[in-house]
Homo-oligomer: A and B are copies of this chain.
Amino acid sequence: MKEFFKVTDLDAVFAYLNHFSAVAAEIINIEDSLGRILAEDLTSDINLPDFARTTRDGYAVRAASTFGASEGSPAYLTIKGQVGMGEVPSFSINSGEAARISTGGMLPEGADSVVMIEHTEMIDATVIEAYRSVAPGQYVITVGEDIQQAAIVLTAGQQIRPQETGLLAALGCETFKVYRKPRVGIISTGDEIIPIQTAPKLGQIRDINTHTLFNQVRQAGGMPRSFGIVSDDYDTLFERCSQALQQSDLILISGGSSVGTRDFTIEVLSNLPDAHILVHGISISPGKPTILAEVGGKQFWGLPGHVVSAMVVFAMVVKPFLYKISGRTDLAIETIGIKAQLARNISSAQGRVDYIRVKLVNQKGSVWAEPVLGKSGLINTVVKADGLVAIDQHTEGLDSGAEVTVIPFD
């Protein structure tokens, strides 16, 4: 039995993350911010809020004026005025006084808390009864309680979720600097592969990988672009790779990394200018024949031809590398997955990481991970699956009922 390539352990593959650096930054508008990666630290130039505001509808008071108040023995307070929303009160509050205020309103000078409207009764136009005592600071957001002036509130490399958008809005950042989305070129190889618009003749198969990888790239924050299908011909492949290299930050080729007669990927990658083959084979399954080359500082990935293998390698191996050039600082695929119980025995080979496709099922209060069996050429098996379970290289297999961590598909 021949050894066709010397496989690299997954840890050693990830050590190459350091070889690649982030793409350039660009300025975007807050409306286009979802999922983008900040390219600058953001320091607040204000206190948020920059005035003490109430979180309830009621009366602004000095807390001491309400001490001991109850239903049986209310505190009587003189109405000093009313605080208009968005306005600075023109009066101050002394002991025994109160001012009508609505949620979000600015506390008048002298007031330190708010009695909720539900706990008061108007006696006449000038006096209220308060039935509850409040503590100083109660129902009040103090100056800088949300964000302190000069604090770093977001850091470069952070991904923008809806709540970070809210924070950017609070600080008045209508535009800001993010990393541009990495351009990812996708090439399919194989004489039997045809464009999806074409009716396959016997022996031909439509190009599944390009479209699957296209949306995996998009989901991971990249800008996918298909460079089409290349037949198993050295010159054509070399030319197409050179073209993709010029127009992309990272390239994915699928199909050409097996040991077939017409597989030229490794030759092409070796002959591109300034090329270094970093990885030729990874100790994972599926996905063993994966290639990683560094070509002029860019990543060139040779992915397996089977769609499940290509998907798994993208999800578990390529994604952190795409994240790296996206400027992200959180490169981990998934530090915290979904705990589940394995629904049947699974065997696994030692010396490699096995990725098992699983479907999640909620039954009798427990979450079960049901392995979806099937060859890695079957797209249907991943359509049925919700995620992957990794079985590490030191484990020979797992028994039914074992606790596993499921890395969900995005």
Identify the A interface with B (CB < 8 A): 1-2, 4, 30-31, 33-34, 46, 48-51, 53, 55, 57, 84-88, 100, 102-106, 117-119, 131, 141, 145-147, 153-154, 160-174, 190-194, 196-216, 218-219, 232, 255, 258-263, 305-307, 311, 335-339, 360, 362, 367, 375-380, 382-383, 385, 409-410
Contacts and interface: CB of A to CB of B under 8 A. Distances in A.
A191 B86 CA distance: 6
Copies of this chain in its oligomeric complex: 2
Contact of A165 (B33, B117, B212, B380): B212
A141 B146 CA distance: 59
A314 to B, nearest CB: 8
6 contacts: A104-B305, A161-B219, A166-B208, A169-B208, A169-B210, A170-B196
A276 B123 CA distance: 36
Given A141-B377, A212-B165, A261 B170 contact: no
Given A86-B192, A87-B192, 5 more contacts: A4-B118, A86-B193, A161-B410, A162-B409, A163-B212
Contacts of A31: 214
Given A153-B380, A169-B208, A205-B49, A311 B197 contact: no
Nearest to A103: B258
Contacts of A196: 30, 169-170, 172-174
Pairs of residues from A and B, 8 with the lowest C-beta to C-beta distance, nearest first: A86-B192, A166-B212, A102-B260, A85-B191, A169-B211, A162-B215, A163-B382, A106-B203
Contact of A376 (B55, B162, B168): B55
A53 B174 CA distance: 55
Contacts of A199: 172
Contact of A85 (B207, B212, B232, B382): B232
Contacts of A207: 169
A167 B380 contact: yes
B206 A172 contact: yes
Contacts of A258: 57, 102-103
Contacts of A102: 258, 260-263
Nearest to A154: B383
Contacts of A117: 259
Contacts of A85: 190-192, 203, 232, 260, 262
